[in-house]
Amino acid sequence: MKNTHTTPDRSATEKKPTRTARTWLLAMLLALGLAVEELQSQERIPFTGPILRVESGMHTGLIRRIALDANEQYLLSVSDDKTLRIWSRADGKLQLTMRVPIGLTHNEGALYALAFSPDGRTVAVAGQTGPEWEDSFCIYLIDIRGGQVRRRILNLPEAVTHLAFSPNGSFLAAVFGEKAGLRAYTIPNGTQIYASEPYDAPANWIDFAPDGRLVTTAYDGGVRLYDANFRPRLAMQMAKDAKPHGVAFSPDGKRIAVGFRDRPTVAVLSAEDLHLIYLPDVSGVSDNLWTVAWSHDGKTLYAGGGHHDKGRSLIRWWNQGGEADASGRGDYVDVAASRGNVMQILPLKEGGLVFAAADPALGILDGQGFPISLHERTIAAFQGSARRLMVSDHGETVEFDYDASGQNRGRFVASKLLLQNAGTSGAGLHEPRLQSEELQVTGWWSGENAPLQLNGQDIPLQEKETPLSLALDLKDRFFVVGTSFNLRMYTRDNTLRWKIATPGSVWAVNISGNGLWVIAAMGDGTIRWFDTMRGEERMALFVHKDQQHWAVWSPKKYFAVSSGADTMIGWHLNRGKEQLAEFHPVAQFPQFMNPEFFMNLFH
């Protein structure tokens, strides 16, 4: 299929600060302060009210997948932050941000999978897309030229984990996060033409060979090979209990590289019968290598994942595809990528590669491994700070980490709307209270490897919900647990008082000395204040990693920002199931700037 160059239409999803009818509607909704229930019709549809979101010019959540157009002019990325972003590959500049319909829960709208059609016209994205209003999942097929949803592929059984177009662009293949296995659809009409037998575990990756054959991986240990008509050909069970993750055909279609989520190993298999050909040298690899890619000439094999050294993630480059030389060991070099785990690698035609990392970060490296461009996180990193989020007695002041080192800390005084360096921290502030004779909470820290319990009694959690942070009330009346997607308050007798779905993992939590406020630091880079009685969110703070720009807002519509930060937050507005959403920066609505609201909140 002929490759065509198309330029994304920037006007499709980014709204300039003009008084359009929809902008007036948004202003009216904000002014009225309507409740969620009043904004929903009887039909189950995406939430119709404004949803305030952070917009820092970079992803604020884990970047799951990336894609390149056939001419390698554009780099696309999707993230848990529910956005699709289009970047110029030449200079790394952001060209356009697209937003699928999202919900009020933590996951709804999170994007896990991405594929770009060979003709450069259609982008497929999916993930946690649709279950809040349809009880099933969907794939969005987006016309990249007009920025419009061309079609939705509906009634998917689970969240999609990976997407891939066939080499001729006629088919789209998807694998799923539970046991649904592999499905294939025609393009452009989205008709399902194949559904595999259920796998025994979540599937993770798909790759097409140049001749249309297809390979998948799953955590049941299986590497499965299909012919160009999606007929199963072969399946190989890797080592006992192995979790194969990333997979890639070599450019000539003769070899298959496999990365693993549970071991620092890469295997190269025959694409003919899946027998093991060789294991590239992994000497000195510090952690698992789960994503793999081949250079366009097939001479270099790349792998990344959790491999780190001196605070940087590393991508291993093997010459000769990692095959051993006469000395019995393959020649390789480790190239620095970012700080977070490497999630995906894509080769470039002229040599080098692009990568996505969990920081979140995006990078482009040349053929020698030197960085051409690098977008690192713009948000504070609260992971690992469960013991270091400090709060004043009245809750108006917080001290927090900008990064995982714990040495670079900021202080925000809400009553003065003042951001400053923490300096010598601790004056008038207290750390989370983690121990008490009356309340013995165990199992909240991952290093304990034990169930979450209060005084030996189990604290039930949802499936896949992981406890991450804890704070006890100073008077032992209640305690708060932050998890991977909820904030929970319990009374001293282990009764759940309230549970709040959060926009990110709750990495740290604390309780004000007067017991009126719960303050939580989340994976989306925000710190949020909740009243202890009902768990209602009253204020949120976003501080840019540059340590200068900040924004605060309330669910009741008010906001305040530092100078130059009035585009860093805004209102996401769904336009139904079949259209991309709009985003309106708060700069368009100066009438809702209300610093006094926040300065008086704690009096």
* 1-42+62-198 placed in CATH 2.130.10.10: yes
Kindly list the domain boundaries of the chain, sorted by start residue.
Answer: 1-42+62-198, 227-377, 390-576+590-599
Q: Which two tokens stand for residue 70?
A: 């056939």
| First vs last C-alpha separation in the chain | 66
* Mean pLDDT value of segment 512-540: 96
| Most confident among 4-18, 314-328, 533-547 (mean pLDDT) | 533-547
Looking at residue 36, what is its pLDDT?
A: 46
Looking at residue 21, what is its pLDDT?
A: 65
Looking at CATH, the fold of the domain delimited by 390-576+590-599 is given as Lipocalin (2.40.128)
574 neighbors 101 (Cβ within 8 angstroms) = yes
pTM: 0.91
Cite the beta strand spans of 252-348 per DSSP E: 255-260, 266-270, 276-278, 289-294, 300-305, 308-309, 312-319, 332-336, 342-347
Q: How far apart are CA 301 and CA 315, in angstroms?
A: 10
What average pLDDT is seen over the chain?
Answer: 91
Looking at residue 422, what is its pLDDT?
A: 87
What pLDDT, in 10s, does the model give residues 309-320?
A: 998 999 999 998
List the 569-573 sheet strands across, edge first.
Answer: 51-54, 569-573, 582-585
Looking at residue 26, what is its pLDDT?
A: 72
Lowest mean pLDDT among 49-53, 57-61, 122-126, 287-291: 49-53
Superfamily for the 227-377 domain: YVTN repeat-like/Quinoprotein amine dehydrogenase (2.130.10.10)
Does 5 have pLDDT greater than 50? no
| Most confident among 14-18, 102-106, 549-553 (mean pLDDT) | 549-553
Q: Which two tokens stand for residue 30?
A: 């904000």
Q: What is the DSSP string of 518-564?
A: EEEEETTSEEEEEETTT--EEEEEEEBTTSS-EEEE-TTS-EEE-TT
Nearest in space to 215 (alpha carbons), one of 294, 141, 321 = 294
The percent of residues in the chain predicted with pLDDT above 70, rounded, is 91
What pLDDT, in 10s, does the model give residues 37-88?
A: 444 444 588 988 889 999 999 999 999 999 999 999 999 999 999 999 999 9
What pLDDT, in 10s, does the model give residues 329-363?
A: 678 999 999 999 999 999 999 999 999 999 999 99
* Mean pLDDT value of segment 228-250: 95
SS3 assignment for 232-260: EEEEEECCCCCCEEEEEECCCCCEEEEEE
Binning pLDDT at 50, 70 and 90, where does residue 150 land? very high
Whole-number Cα distances in Å, 383 to 86, 92, 132, 411, 547? 27, 27, 28, 17, 18
Q: How far apart are CA 64 and CA 112, in angstroms?
A: 5
Nearest in space to 593 (alpha carbons), one of 330, 397, 417 = 417
Do 1-42+62-198 and 227-377 show the same overall fold? yes
Burial class (CB in 10 A: 0-12, 13-18, 19+), 564: exposed
Amino acid at the residue 62: L
Three-class SS state of 96: strand
Polymer length in residues for the chain: 603
486 neighbors 499 (Cβ within 8 angstroms) = yes
Backbone angles phi, psi at 363, to 5 degrees: -145, 155
Whole-number Cα distances in Å, 596 to 553, 560, 602? 12, 9, 11
Residue the block writes with tokens 């990078």: 363
Q: Is the peptide bond before 101 cis (omega within 30 degrees of 0)?
A: no
Does 8 have pLDDT greater than 60? no
Q: What is the DSSP string of 312-325?
A: EEEEEEEEGGG---
Q: Return the higher-pLDDT residue of 328 and 373.
A: 373
> What is the chain's Cα-based Rg?
24
* Mean pLDDT value of segment 515-533: 96
Q: How far apart are CA 65 and CA 97, in angstroms?
A: 15
Looking at residue 443, what is its pLDDT?
A: 94
List the 182-186 sheet strands across, edge first.
Answer: 160-165, 171-176, 182-186, 192-195
Looking at residue 239, what is its pLDDT?
A: 82
* Mean pLDDT value of segment 173-200: 96
Q: How far apart are CA 8 and CA 93, in angstroms?
A: 14
Q: Return the higher-pLDDT residue of 477 and 449.
A: 477
Looking at residue 18, what is its pLDDT?
A: 47
* Mean pLDDT value of segment 562-580: 95
Q: Return the higher-pLDDT residue of 326 and 117.
A: 117
Looking at residue 19, what is its pLDDT?
A: 46
386 neighbors 64 (Cβ within 8 angstroms) = no
Whole-number Cα distances in Å, 308 to 279, 338, 466, 468, 479? 20, 9, 24, 23, 36
Q: How far apart are CA 108 and CA 46, in angstroms?
A: 10
What pLDDT, in 10s, does the model give residues 364-378?
A: 999 999 999 999 999
Query: Going by C-beta distance under 8 Å and a sequence separation of 6 or more, which residues neighbour residue 67?
Result: 75, 76, 77, 114, 115, 116, 123, 346
Does 1 have pLDDT greater than 50? no
In degrees, rounded to 5, the angle at the alpha carbon of residue 105 between the alpha carbons of residues 104 and 110 is 100
Q: How far apart are CA 443 and CA 459, in angstroms?
A: 10
Looking at residue 32, what is its pLDDT?
A: 62
What pLDDT, in 10s, does the model give residues 417-437?
A: 999 998 655 678 999 999 999
What pLDDT, in 10s, does the model give residues 388-397?
A: 999 999 999 9
What pLDDT, in 10s, does the model give residues 491-506?
A: 999 999 999 999 889 9
